[in-house]
Amino acid sequence: MARLFGRSYSRNELMRRTGNADQFGGVRLSRLEDGKAHDVLVADFRTGSGLSFTVAPGRGMDIVHSDYCGIPLCWRSSTGDVASEYAEPEEFGWLQGFFGGLVATCGLTYAGAPCVDEGKPLGLHGRVSNIPATNVLADTAWEGDELLMWCQGKVREASVFGPNIVLSRRVSAKLGEKRLFINDVVANEGHETQPHMLIYHINIGYPAVSEDSVFMAPSARQTPRDEPSVRALDRCFGFEAPEDGVPEQLFRHDMVAGPDGRVLTAIVNKTLNFGVYLRHRLDQLPVYSQWKMCASGHYVCGMEPANCEVTGRARARQEGKLQFLQPGEARSYDLELGVVSGADEVAQIESEIRATKG
């Protein structure tokens, strides 16, 4: 049943009070018009719980914005929304169109740092986020007394004499809930074995990230990436106020899964009792990086479950860590993102993470 306005409603009870369920929530396709965002296809979700978010089929089915009762959940960069035709794949050109957003996908055949792998130059974080989806469908449907809403599409990374990898993504939510689900299937539809790298770049911003906030995680071990991260290792679970010129930091976490095989992490403002949680399957995404950035204008913390490190494809190959998709092979990835609101929910998240970590 849908939980709305302080009580639960059956389908019959709710539909007696309206001529169309989109009065309370749903999903609608539209196109952006202004500047570099011109003609980007988006799907706007309203769950009726206060959670709203925007999926962009025109940008790899990523989630470019989200808020809860008007409070932003994600960080947005100065680039704003940028159409795929402005993509700059070389070196660090990916950053020219990095909108931030709740979820930016990195992959599918390479991700992480720029490098030269077997003579081929590869830019930052791959191509998938800059490829428009096909076979896009946005719809709602009743299942018993629950109204489901979803947007789905296929993103193909392909070239002549190269890979033919397809990401089939479905982003869904339920009326009355303050969480969303991402269900991905990545398939090699070509006839040759291909590298497979995938990072979910989940970018949480102010006020969930603040000097009053903490990063909660069942982390058994934290490994800093570089010298700035080494110096800040003892503060990786906390945040500072924004400051000009602060370098980015990155920490690799060895996470512990709960009894259901999923890892629960969260970023919570302890003063507001407000934040965002993430659940993902450890067997699907065994690598977890925390991107901490407290510089002015770049005030963000990335929760980044992945099947690879962020050091780039050449190093992954050299270290024997590079994963591959065989012809016809497909792999599934499932994530849940939701809002933490109120002291009771904060306490529940803390208790579950503490119990998992032991």
Per-domain residue ranges of the chain: 2-357
The torsion of the CA quartet 142, 148, 151, 157, rounded to 10 degrees, works out to -110
Question: C-alpha angle 292/298/301, rounded to 5°?
Answer: 30
Q: What is the pLDDT of residues 115-132, one digit of tens each?
A: 999 999 999 999 999 999
Q: What is the pLDDT of residues 284-302, one digit of tens each?
A: 999 999 999 999 999 999 9
Q: Determine the Cα–Cα distance for residues 343 and 341; give it in Å rounded to an integer.
A: 7
pLDDT of 212 higher than 90: yes
- Exposed / middle / buried, residue 119 (Cβ in 10 Å: 0-12, 13-18, 19+): exposed
Regarding pTM above 0.85, the answer is yes
pLDDT of 232 higher than 90: no
Residues in the chain: 358
Work out the pLDDT band at 6, boundaries 50, 70, 90: very high
For residue 317, count other CB atoms closer than 10 A to its CB.
14
pLDDT at 176: 98
pLDDT of 171 higher than 90: yes
pLDDT at 343: 97
Q: What is the pLDDT of residues 305-320, one digit of tens each?
A: 999 999 999 999 999 9
Mean pLDDT value across residues 190-196? 98
Question: C-alpha angle 106/108/109, rounded to 5°?
Answer: 120
pLDDT at 52: 98
pLDDT at 358: 79
Q: Determine the Cα–Cα distance for residues 261 and 281; give it in Å rounded to an integer.
A: 6
Q: What is the pLDDT of residues 151-160, one digit of tens each?
A: 999 999 999 9
- Summary mean pLDDT of the chain: 96
Instruction: Cite the DSSP H helix spans in 146-287.
Output: 227-231
Q: Determine the Cα–Cα distance for residues 353 and 358; give it in Å rounded to an integer.
A: 8
CATH topology of domain 2-357: Beta-galactosidase; Chain A, domain 5 (2.70.98)
pLDDT at 357: 86
Q: Which helix (H) or strand (E) holds 15?
A: helix 11-15
Mean pLDDT value across residues 167-189? 98
Q: Report the Cα–Cα distance between both ends of the chain, in Å, rounded.
A: 35
